[in-house]
Structure 1
Amino acid sequence: MAANFDLTNLAVTGLAPGNELLYDNAGMPSIMVKIPKMTYKQLGMGESTAVHPAFIVNGTEVDAIYISKYLNIVQDGRAYSIGGVDPAAGMNFDQARQYCEAKGEGWHCMTRIEWGLILRWCIANGFLPKGNTSFGKHPSENVYKAIPTYKDGDKGTGRTATGTGPLTWYHDQTPSGIADLTGNIWEWSGGVRMVYGELQILANNNGADSAHSQSATSAEWKAINAADGTLITPNGSGTTSGSVKADHINNKLVWSTNITVKKDESDYETEAQIECDSTIKDGAKLWLYNLGFLEYPGDTLEDGNGCWFNNGAAERCFSSGGSWSNSSCGLASFSGHGPRSLTWANLGFRSAFVKLPTA
């Protein structure tokens, strides 16, 4: 009997091992990068053989997660990962999630815990990808440029076609990697927000399951107990006793249980400048490491990796990676100063997929 191969998928995996075509509920494919389950030890975070929380959904470990190889486009209300196209931009947080979740069970907007996983993998392997952070190119690569798809007025190239940059723009420096995580456009990140400066998350990678609401009023949002890292129910005003919060001290983000300087405005620093005070204990720090909100001991991130936050607004959502006009940005960059209603020409998203565990 002749073998029944998916010839298209076979071609994709032959050219880029570790890549797969995944089909959604409309029967349409996306090119995805498979990330197998990994432990803290494998990620250079000590000797623990516990799995990274990106691989825990609904309290159960999953064998792999799949990240869109490319920034997504939108077709018929669904998100797709396709190379060589102008990435979709200009949608708000809820719209980005809707485009992903419309694809069916397990599809979701890439979560910040997944982003933190990729960041940890790159750091452990001694390489942080570059990207379009300087109007079509990276500041350190004057020769390499990607294909322009959108012009930023008289400043020059804005967005570039997905995956058309050099291999240094892929997370593993190979054609099998995830493209354009750094620069091009900011990417909405699910499963995390700030409420009046209080950091709130969905447990582990529950943001990968659309059954867990990420609405502004959802009861799924949890604060982090600074004493031991357990997740606790927030009080809604950002003043939950003993929770992890973003303080603003000496022009730096300092994680603390108290906020001494509150500002309803955007503040900037680099990832390497972010600190914890003595109220943040090891269990809570682990969440911050996993989310990419605190540099892990011994890390030596490159200059840049600019970060923005707002600790005075009622709610602020997060995006990751920087854009074409953020030469100070890198893979560790995040922006937590925008509301969920924010829309920009340099703000898009990337879908991910996980096979949800069954009861």
Structure 2
Amino acid sequence: MSIIISAPDAFRQSVEAASGGVNTVLYDDRGYPSIMCVVPRFNIEDIDPALGSGVHPAFTIDGAQKSEIMVGKFQATIHDDRALSLPGQDPAASIDFDTADQRCADKGPGWHMMTNAEWSAVALWCWKNGFMPRGNTDYGRDYDQTYETGRRQDGGDPGDTNGAARTLTGSGPASWYHDNSPAGIADLTGNVWEWVRGLRLVGGEIQIIADNNAAATDADHSDASTLWQAILQDGSLVAPGTTDTLKWDATGADGTGSPILNTSVTSQSDGSNSASEMYKDLTAEAGVTVPDIAKVLGLFPHAVDMTRGRFYMRNEGERLPRRGGDWSSGSFAGVFALGLHNPRSSASSLIGFRPAFAI
């Protein structure tokens, strides 16, 4: 059972004091600490009234509104089969979706791998506040501001294309944190892609787990889970396979070219082909209405200045989401970067994850 978060603790008190209360320390079932960033609840209209109104989905779990969620300040490292959020670590990588998910769930009630709803809330907050965090997107440095560097775990020089150029968690400058301060969430842009829960593609059909129910301790994320729902053009959620649900189609042959939001798939991948486009440039098929929920969940842009992020998709089979980009992504990395082209079994030195907590 997780330690009560209000219990006095010298480490926790020092972290909270240093960050002005933006960060705290939580302990898992084995007493291991993780530094977390507190994200207070906000409404959709706080981001943009054009997106609708009401609490952002990230703050509703199983029908109950939460005053805050807690996101791992750092990309996960693994100790004793537990995912930890700590500075100065080589982020865990080469881990498939289900294993990463389990390393978070095993920490105890409330712990989970970061969800897509939570990621989208942070990304929209960044956009609203006019700051797109940079990061390790060019082998230990930012591709644009190349003087911004982190400490590579392999000891290599920034920009050296040899080796695995992951940087130690939180070792970059303030601009690599989501709020442009050391109290923010580190490395959301680049370093390693991050698996997230609560979203997938199946044969091109977009499927989600409603609200932030994906954060619930017992939420079933298996292929056969009954929690998965598809989305209609009016934003309502329906059973997968319902006629005219939103799907990712492609403008080229055999699932190539640019992705295009549609209600049918006319160009399907053979399992190897994929389509991609900068997130800000995604479009919908003529006559297809894009519901607000797709924009609120970071699946479709609502503004043209949502820079730093590319969208990838493969509309064949089940595809699980990863966010943010990696150390070699260059301008394609960013808080709006989304990959929906990998099966849950994928394991790569470019893919990691991040723990979160909500109860």
TM-score normalised by the chain length of structure 1: 0.91
The residue that corresponds to 1:243 in the other structure is: 245
Tell me the SS of whatever aligns to 1:210: coil
The change in CA–CA distance for 1:170 and 1:154 in structure 2 (over 3 A counts) is closer
The separation in 1 between residues aligned to 2:237 and 2:51, in whole angstroms, is 24
Q: How does 1:1-359 map onto structure 2 within 5 Å?
A: 5-17=8-20, 18-46=22-50, 48-150=52-154, 155-156=162-163, 158-226=165-233, 228-235=234-241, 240-249=242-251, 251-263=257-269, 264=271, 265-281=273-289, 285-296=291-302, 298-302=303-307, 304-311=308-315, 313-327=316-330, 328-355=332-359
Between the aligned partners of 2:218 and 2:287, the Cα distance in structure 1 is: 34
Q: How many residues align?
A: 342
CA distance in 2, matches of 1:300, 1:344: 31
Shift of 1:233: 1.1
> Could you tell me how far apart the structure 2 residues matched to 1:48 and 1:182 are?
27
Q: Tell me, in whole angstroms, the C-alpha distance in 1 between the residues paired with 2:203 and 2:80.
A: 36
Q: Which amino acid is 2:84 matched to?
A: Y
Distance 1:92 1:143, change over 3 A: same
Letter in 2 for 1:321: G
8 Å contact from structure 2 (residues 51, 296) kept in 1: no
Superposed displacement of residue 11, structure 1 = 0.6
The residue type equivalent to 1:267 in the other structure is: A
Alignment-mate amino acid for residue 236 of structure 2: T
Please give the alpha-carbon distance, in whole angstroms, between the structure 2 residues aligned to 1:216 and 1:96. 16
Describe the SS at the equivalent of 2:317.
coil
Deviations 1:286-328 (A, max 9, x none): 12112211111x44123x41221001x2101010000001102
2-structure distance, mates of 1:173, 1:108:
26
Mapped contact 1:39–1:48 kept (Cα < 8 A): no
Q: Deviations over 1:9-59 (max 9, x none)?
A: 111011112100011111221000000110012223448551000111001
Q: For 1:190, what is the secondary structure of its paired residue?
A: coil
Q: Deviations over 1:41-83 (max 9, x none)?
A: 2223448551000111001211110000000111111110000
Aligned-pair identity (%): 36
Q: Which shifted more, 246-255 or 116-125?
A: 246-255
Unaligned runs of 5+ in 2: 1-6
Describe the SS at the equivalent of 1:183.
coil
Quickly say closer, same or farther: Cα 1:47–1:350, change in 2 above 3 A.
closer
Q: Distance in 2 between matches of 1:186 and 1:47?
A: 27
Unaligned runs of 5+ in 1: none
* Alignment RMSD (CA, Å): 1.7
Counterpart contact for 1:186–1:321, Cα < 8 Å: yes
8 Å Cα contact 1:32/1:68 also seen in 2: yes
Q: CA separation in 2, counterparts of 1:10 and 1:151?
A: 33
Report the equivalent of 2:3: none
Label 1:49 to 1:308 Cα distance change in 2 as closer, same or farther (>3 A): closer
**Separation of aligned partners in 2, 1:323 and 1:47:** 29
* Mapped contact 1:319–1:335 kept (Cα < 8 A): yes
Q: Read off the aligned partner of 2:321 and give its amino acid letter.
A: F
Structure 1 Cα separation of the partners of residues 73 and 202 of structure 2: 31
Answer with 249-258 or 82-91: which moved more.
249-258
Query: Counterpart amino acid of 1:120?
Result: L
- Cα gap change, 1:58/1:5 in structure 2, threshold over 3 Å: closer, same or farther? closer
